[in-house]
Structure 1
Amino acid sequence: MMRAVMVLAALVLAGMFAPQARAGEVCNETSYYVDAAKAWGGENGLSAQGWQRIAPGSCVRFSGIPAGVPQFLYARTSEAYLGGAREWLGRTPVCVDRENFQIEGAQDCEAMGLEQREFRQLAPSERARAVLVEPDDFGSRALEAGVQRLLQTLGYEVRVVDGFAGRRSRAQIAAFERDIGASFGGNYERLAERLHETALERNGEVGLNVCNQTSGPTGIAIARQRNERWQSRGWWRIEPGSCMRVVADRLQPGELFVYAQTADGERSEPLRRGVEAFCVAPGRFTAEGRSNCAERGYTQVLFRASPVPVDGVARLTLENADFEDLVQ
């Protein structure tokens, strides 16, 4: 509550003294539904607002941004898609919240209970209209590509996402309409909305969901087999009292291992009752293989088996008793 009051007061003052603001448009020419946020420079540092959900082939406007100031953009795919979030990012760290937010001049993300994301600075020509794209430049075909992507995500037989609604795509659309008992009559906007709603309901919690009930922030790493080779990855930082979906794939029993360590202060405490050795590094890392960790510049630690998934969903709650020196 105190943070909300402070942010609201800052916004009121900013509105009284800021230069005339103008809207900035962000358009989505990708095949994904994305959640976007914008940031801008000011006397008190970077301010930010988000999240705005943008459908494939659509645009939204960000208002209240002073004219002539540097602007930054970050976007991520919605939770409807499997395989983890895809990001459109840069190198400028900005404080954001998990839910809809508007933050004035936040600099210490951790102290305010916020997360940090890396934003891309927009060129002056992009301030009025910035466009999100993929390597496959869908352009005006983004909506059709988005429908194909969602059908594929829901398990329908779409082999190629190309934005061309051919006979196979039309057949899979008809199959989806039969499955839900509704027809969209060629209205791709309404069809995409319903596909996205369905995918969110089905996939929104699929994977590994970790909740941190310890007294401080925690870093999470995972290990699983990829193409018959073990791979370990980290870190995901989870604040106390918060939850995060770390893996966004439908899980099978025995395929995933988890490691955690406290991330508060100079000394970190490791997760207890680990059983399988994998490689980790101090910063963000991806380690291929699980042997010869030290020779390859990694540290070997013991991971714990993930909780057994139910319908592809595994849930792990970390408490103080899970860490060596936090046992009470």
Structure 2
Amino acid sequence: MRLILLSILLFALSAGGASAKYSFCNKSSYALSAAIGYVDGDRLATRGWWRLRPGQCKVVLTETAKPGRYFVYAEAIPGHKGPLRTWSGDTALCVENNGFFNLRNQDVCRDDPMRQRKFFNVEVTEAAGGAWQTDFTEASTYTVYSAEVAGVQRLLSDIGKNSGDIDGAMGRETQRALANYRKEKGLPDGYNIDDELIDALIEDANSSEAKLGLFYCNKTNNAVWSAVAESEGDEKYRSKGWWKIEPGDCAKIIKGALGKDHYYVYGLIEDPAGERAMTGGEKNFCTNLVMFNSANDLSCADQDLDEAAFRRVDIGGAESATFDFTPAMFATSQDDAAQ
């Protein structure tokens, strides 16, 4: 489920004037990583990631917010339970998957869809006077303060320290959970919320999530384009791809504790002589030349998609699993791959 509720608010200039800038404000219960796209001279640039604690506002561009179109994207940190939450749109732009980035060449991700994110459009008006703020919100309406409380409630729940409601209200159960966590982490007594507390919660949530999920590792000497199919019950499956994994690298394909007893795996080796497909597949699923996310309730032909045989991987109900792509799994030539 993608969360795309947002509020784009115009800064009112005070009587004394306000400095021109572009700001983000996180009025959600999620800790976020956010990025922005904007016209820089004759190029379209992207910049990020800014970490936004719940309830935090931050200047992301100190230059005057000129009238025209900007592009904004945010996603929840991996440590939050459940599917990845995003604030997104329809414009695919390049990012780096880790660390701060400032990209002025949108061709760098052309061949790697996992380095693209779908940004939403923001139209900055002349009346803004050069200062603009984009708020990230949820269906629940939070103020900056209540978003901070709701964010702490969510993070405590993510690490199994609180089972109460995520409502932004500092009730007794939240106070008790906060006091216990502060004591456990050696923080000053009480149930007050500060940056140190939130950062500790984020670190714990991300550390817990890092150990869970389905991982692919590339043990070959070439880049591997990988895909996965997982059960949705009653013989229904959904196939997804592609994740590009460089030689020696690993990637998380499914986040969170695994809830299925098996998955289906597929891959293509990127070889100078041409792509070589993974062999030994037992069940056919839909694929595509570009990114895909396809249910098998319709035939691949009816969806205008290709088809490939995926390998079944049994994990026995484990919360995490790693699948290694090795050279022996792939056809030795394009002719073999076609057989």
TM-score past 0.5 threshold: yes
**Cα offset for 1:246?**
1.3
Q: Which residue of 1 aligns with 2:80?
A: 81
Instruction: Report the RMSD for the aligned CA atoms in angstroms.
Output: 3.6
Equivalent residues of 2:215, 2:253 under 8 A apart: yes
Whole-angstrom CA distance in 2 between matches of 1:299 and 1:314: 27
Structure 2: stretches of 5+ with no match in the other structure: 1-18, 335-339
Residue of 309, 325, 329 corresponding to 1:302: 309
Alignment of 1:265-276 (within 5 A): 268-276=275-283
Equivalent residues of 2:282, 2:309 under 8 A apart: yes
Equivalent residues of 2:218, 2:324 under 8 A apart: yes
Residue of 25, 28, 34 corresponding to 1:27: 25
Identity of aligned residues (%): 25
Q: Which residue of 2 aligns with 1:72?
A: 71
AA aligned opposite 1:63: L
AA aligned opposite 1:100: G
Counterpart check, 1:134 vs 2:138: yes
Alignment of 1:38-187 (within 5 A): 38-63=36-61, 65=63, 67-68=65-66, 70-110=69-109, 115-124=115-124, 128-140=132-144, 141-177=146-182, 180=185, 182=187, 184-187=189-192
Moved more, 265-274 or 245-254: 265-274
Whole-angstrom CA distance in 2 between matches of 1:231 and 1:183: 49
Moved more, 75-84 or 274-283: 274-283
**Cα offset for 1:121?**
2.1
Q: Which residue of 2 aligns with 1:7?
A: none
Q: Which residue of 2 aligns with 1:231?
A: 237
Equivalent residues of 1:218, 1:264 under 8 A apart: no
Residue of 208, 233, 239 corresponding to 1:202: 208
Moved more, 79-88 or 260-269: 260-269
**Cα offset for 1:179?**
5.0
AA aligned opposite 1:60: K
Question: Structure 1 pair 81/240, CA: closer, same or farther in 2 (3 Å)?
Answer: same
Say how many residue pairs are matched. 308
Deviations 1:120-149 (A, max 9, x none): 222215862111112222233111111111
Q: Which residue of 1 aligns with 2:15?
A: none
Question: Structure 1 pair 24/265, CA: closer, same or farther in 2 (3 Å)?
Answer: farther
Equivalent residues of 1:205, 1:245 under 8 A apart: no
**Cα offset for 1:96?**
1.3
TM-score (norm 2): 0.75
Whole-angstrom CA distance in 1 between matches of 2:316 and 2:203: 23
> Helix, strand or coil: the match of 2:119?
strand
Question: Structure 1 pair 266/116, CA: closer, same or farther in 2 (3 Å)?
Answer: farther
Equivalent residues of 2:227, 2:243 under 8 A apart: no
